[in-house]
């Protein structure tokens, strides 16, 4: 999967292909709630932001209300002042974002919530590296769960993720074929760690940044 030149908001609707997933990076302000998400989705739907109605699934995943384009799948995540939105057609993406920060209890948390093989992989790492790798695994697992439409109650130990050589791999997923899934690390820099997941064939990921006044 190769990152292609980023689309602009003015032409995203006509340039979203069935073999792509667009990922937008934008500022996040809690006081605005889902308004930026609605505005972004409106550009793809060709409607005013006020017409974008969202509903929450059983585990809190937002979806388009009935009457809007059923082929358009999306997901979003925010951490601190940053947010990511993933959008694709005929796909249900899951995305998760975390800020990189010290995690003194990374190994303890992994042994409690992750698979045994994941905790073992973290245990052999230098302590200075564990926090970042822990967050890579965490965001990857969250992305898969969000694509499934499930929450953390599903159990983080019911799926296994490997992180090596700059790549993520879903090795096991309870009740599903892990090989049918795609899992992609997103290179964002600026102390951010993110992952994108979806079930289906490979797709080209197009990254874009949305200015605050767009």
34-46 per-position pLDDT tens digit:
999 999 999 999 9
Could you give the CA distance from residue 90 to residue 170 in angstroms, rounded to a whole number? 21
How high is the pLDDT of residue 3?
55
**3-state DSSP assignment of residue 212:** coil
Q: Where are the beta strands (DSSP E) in the chain?
A: 20-27, 54-56, 62-64, 72-79, 82-89, 94-99, 159-164, 167-173, 181-186, 192-199, 204-209
How high is the pLDDT of residue 5?
54
Contact 52, 70 (CB under 8 A): no
**How far is the CA of 53 from the CAs of 62, 67, 93, 103, 177, in angstroms?**
10, 9, 19, 38, 33
Contact 197, 144 (CB under 8 A): yes
Q: Which residues, at least 6 apart from 59, have a Cβ–Cβ distance to it below 8 Å?
A: 149, 150, 151, 153
Q: Which residues, at least 6 apart from 28, have a Cβ–Cβ distance to it below 8 Å?
A: 36, 78, 79, 80, 81, 82, 83
Residue 41: exposure state from Cβ atoms within 10 A (0-12, 13-18, ≥19): buried
Other C-beta atoms within 10 Å of 165: how many? Answer: 6
How high is the pLDDT of residue 213?
54
Smallest Cα–Cα separation from 86: which of 181, 182, 20?
Answer: 20
How high is the pLDDT of residue 214?
53
How high is the pLDDT of residue 175?
94
How high is the pLDDT of residue 36?
93
Residues lower than pLDDT 70 in the chain: 1-8, 10-13, 212-214
């Amino acid at each position: 999967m190769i990152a292609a030149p980023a689309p602009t908001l003015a032409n995203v609707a006509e340039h979203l292909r069935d073999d792509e997933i667009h990922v937008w990076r934008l500022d996040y302000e809690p006081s605005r709630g889902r308004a930026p998400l609605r505005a972004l989705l409106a550009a793809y739907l060709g409607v005013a932001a006020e017409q974008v109605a969202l509903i929450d699934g059983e585990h809190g995943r937002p979806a388009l209300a009935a009457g809007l384009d059923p082929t358009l799948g999306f997901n979003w995540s925010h951490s601190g002042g940053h947010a990511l939105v993933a959008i694709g057609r005929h796909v249900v993406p899951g995305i998760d974002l975390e800020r990189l920060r010290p995690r003194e209890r990374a190994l303890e948390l992994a042994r409690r919530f992750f698979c045994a093989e994941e905790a073992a992989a973290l245990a052999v790492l230098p302590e200075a590296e564990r926090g970042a790798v822990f967050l890579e695994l965490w965001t990857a697992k969250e992305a898969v769960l969000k694509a499934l439409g499930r929450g953390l109650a599903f159990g983080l130990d019911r799926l296994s993720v490997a992180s090596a050589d700059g790549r993520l791999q879903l090795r096991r997923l309870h009740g599903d074929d892990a090989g049918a899934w795609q899992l992609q690390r997103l290179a964002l820099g600026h102390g951010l760690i993110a992952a994108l997941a979806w079930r289906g064939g490979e797709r080209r990921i197009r990254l874009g940044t949305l200015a605050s006044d767009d």
